[in-house]
Amino acid sequence: MDIRIYYEDTDCGGVVYYANYLRYFERARTEYLETRGIFVKECIPKGFFFVVAHQDIDYKAPAFYGDVLNIEIKVSGISGASFGFDYVVRNKKSNQIIATAGTTLVCVNKDIQPMKIPQDIREKLVAAG
Protein backbone atom coordinates (compact mmCIF):
# COMPACT_ATOMS: atom_id res chain seq x y z
CA MET A 1 0.00 0.00 0.00
CA ASP A 2 1.33 3.42 -0.90
CA ILE A 3 0.98 6.50 1.32
CA ARG A 4 1.74 10.00 0.01
CA ILE A 5 3.13 12.33 2.67
CA TYR A 6 1.33 15.66 2.91
CA TYR A 7 2.29 18.80 4.81
CA GLU A 8 -0.24 17.90 7.52
CA ASP A 9 1.73 14.69 8.19
CA THR A 10 4.91 16.51 9.18
CA ASP A 11 6.23 18.17 12.30
CA CYS A 12 7.89 21.60 12.59
CA GLY A 13 11.11 20.09 11.22
CA GLY A 14 9.42 18.88 8.04
CA VAL A 15 9.73 15.22 9.07
CA VAL A 16 6.75 12.86 9.31
CA TYR A 17 5.47 13.13 12.89
CA TYR A 18 6.20 9.82 14.61
CA ALA A 19 2.62 9.11 15.74
CA ASN A 20 1.28 9.40 12.19
CA TYR A 21 2.75 6.00 11.41
CA LEU A 22 0.00 4.52 13.61
CA ARG A 23 -2.59 5.97 11.21
CA TYR A 24 -0.70 4.56 8.24
CA PHE A 25 -0.62 1.10 9.84
CA GLU A 26 -4.35 1.29 10.54
CA ARG A 27 -5.00 2.08 6.88
CA ALA A 28 -2.71 -0.73 5.73
CA ARG A 29 -4.44 -3.23 8.07
CA THR A 30 -7.87 -2.20 6.87
CA GLU A 31 -6.91 -2.54 3.20
CA TYR A 32 -5.14 -5.83 3.84
CA LEU A 33 -8.12 -7.34 5.67
CA GLU A 34 -10.71 -6.07 3.20
CA THR A 35 -8.85 -7.45 0.18
CA ARG A 36 -9.09 -10.82 1.93
CA GLY A 37 -12.80 -10.56 2.62
CA ILE A 38 -12.59 -9.46 6.27
CA PHE A 39 -14.64 -6.31 6.80
CA VAL A 40 -14.36 -4.97 10.34
CA LYS A 41 -17.58 -2.99 9.92
CA GLU A 42 -19.42 -6.29 9.35
CA CYS A 43 -17.92 -7.84 12.50
CA ILE A 44 -19.51 -5.37 14.91
CA PRO A 45 -23.17 -6.42 14.26
CA LYS A 46 -22.02 -10.03 14.74
CA GLY A 47 -20.93 -9.17 18.29
CA PHE A 48 -17.15 -8.90 17.99
CA PHE A 49 -14.39 -6.60 16.82
CA PHE A 50 -10.63 -6.21 17.10
CA VAL A 51 -8.63 -3.97 19.43
CA VAL A 52 -4.94 -3.12 19.39
CA ALA A 53 -3.25 -4.75 22.38
CA HIS A 54 0.37 -4.00 21.46
CA GLN A 55 2.23 -1.81 19.01
CA ASP A 56 5.95 -1.45 18.43
CA ILE A 57 7.78 0.73 15.93
CA ASP A 58 11.45 1.05 15.10
CA TYR A 59 12.21 4.23 13.18
CA LYS A 60 15.14 3.72 10.80
CA ALA A 61 15.18 6.92 8.69
CA PRO A 62 13.07 10.06 8.32
CA ALA A 63 10.33 10.56 5.75
CA PHE A 64 9.50 14.02 4.45
CA TYR A 65 6.73 16.07 2.88
CA GLY A 66 6.23 14.90 -0.71
CA ASP A 67 7.63 11.41 -0.17
CA VAL A 68 5.63 8.36 -1.16
CA LEU A 69 5.96 5.48 1.27
CA ASN A 70 5.16 1.85 0.59
CA ILE A 71 3.90 -0.28 3.47
CA GLU A 72 4.46 -4.02 3.22
CA ILE A 73 2.23 -5.93 5.62
CA LYS A 74 1.89 -9.58 6.57
CA VAL A 75 0.10 -11.63 9.21
CA SER A 76 2.40 -12.74 12.02
CA GLY A 77 1.19 -15.28 14.50
CA ILE A 78 -2.38 -16.33 15.16
CA SER A 79 -3.48 -17.65 18.55
CA GLY A 80 -6.86 -18.29 20.14
CA ALA A 81 -7.97 -14.68 20.56
CA SER A 82 -5.17 -12.69 18.95
CA PHE A 83 -3.19 -12.22 15.78
CA GLY A 84 -0.48 -9.89 14.63
CA PHE A 85 0.80 -7.91 11.70
CA ASP A 86 4.36 -7.04 10.75
CA TYR A 87 5.12 -4.00 8.63
CA VAL A 88 8.06 -2.68 6.65
CA VAL A 89 7.79 0.94 5.54
CA ARG A 90 9.99 1.95 2.62
CA ASN A 91 10.56 5.12 0.66
CA LYS A 92 9.03 4.13 -2.67
CA LYS A 93 11.59 6.06 -4.73
CA SER A 94 14.80 5.00 -2.95
CA ASN A 95 13.56 1.72 -1.41
CA GLN A 96 15.19 2.82 1.87
CA ILE A 97 13.61 1.29 4.97
CA ILE A 98 11.95 4.06 6.96
CA ALA A 99 10.43 1.97 9.77
CA THR A 100 9.60 -1.55 10.85
CA ALA A 101 6.70 -2.31 13.16
CA GLY A 102 4.39 -4.89 14.64
CA THR A 103 0.81 -4.81 15.90
CA THR A 104 -1.03 -7.36 18.01
CA LEU A 105 -4.82 -7.32 17.78
CA VAL A 106 -7.22 -9.11 20.10
CA CYS A 107 -10.69 -10.26 19.17
CA VAL A 108 -13.19 -9.03 21.77
CA ASN A 109 -16.93 -9.34 22.32
CA LYS A 110 -19.35 -6.44 22.79
CA ASP A 111 -18.31 -6.26 26.46
CA ILE A 112 -14.69 -5.87 25.35
CA GLN A 113 -13.75 -9.27 26.75
CA PRO A 114 -11.35 -11.47 24.76
CA MET A 115 -12.95 -14.20 22.70
CA LYS A 116 -11.76 -16.78 20.19
CA ILE A 117 -11.31 -15.50 16.68
CA PRO A 118 -14.30 -16.79 14.66
CA GLN A 119 -13.34 -19.76 12.48
CA ASP A 120 -14.12 -18.08 9.15
CA ILE A 121 -11.91 -15.11 10.05
CA ARG A 122 -9.16 -17.42 11.32
CA GLU A 123 -9.20 -19.37 8.04
CA LYS A 124 -8.86 -16.16 6.00
CA LEU A 125 -5.97 -14.97 8.19
CA VAL A 126 -4.18 -18.32 7.89
CA ALA A 127 -4.65 -18.29 4.11
CA ALA A 128 -3.27 -14.74 3.93
CA GLY A 129 -0.23 -15.50 6.09
- Give dist(CA 4, CA 26) in Å, integer: 15
Q: In the chain, count of helices (H) and strands (E)?
A: 3, 5
Choosing from 11, 56, 111, 120, the catalytic residue is 11
Query: For the CA atoms of the chain, what is the radius of gyration?
Result: 16
- Give dist(CA 60, CA 20) in Å, integer: 15
- The CA–CA distances, whole Å, from 52 to 24, 63, 83, 106 equal 14, 25, 10, 6
58 is catalytic: no
Please list the active-site residues.
Answer: 11
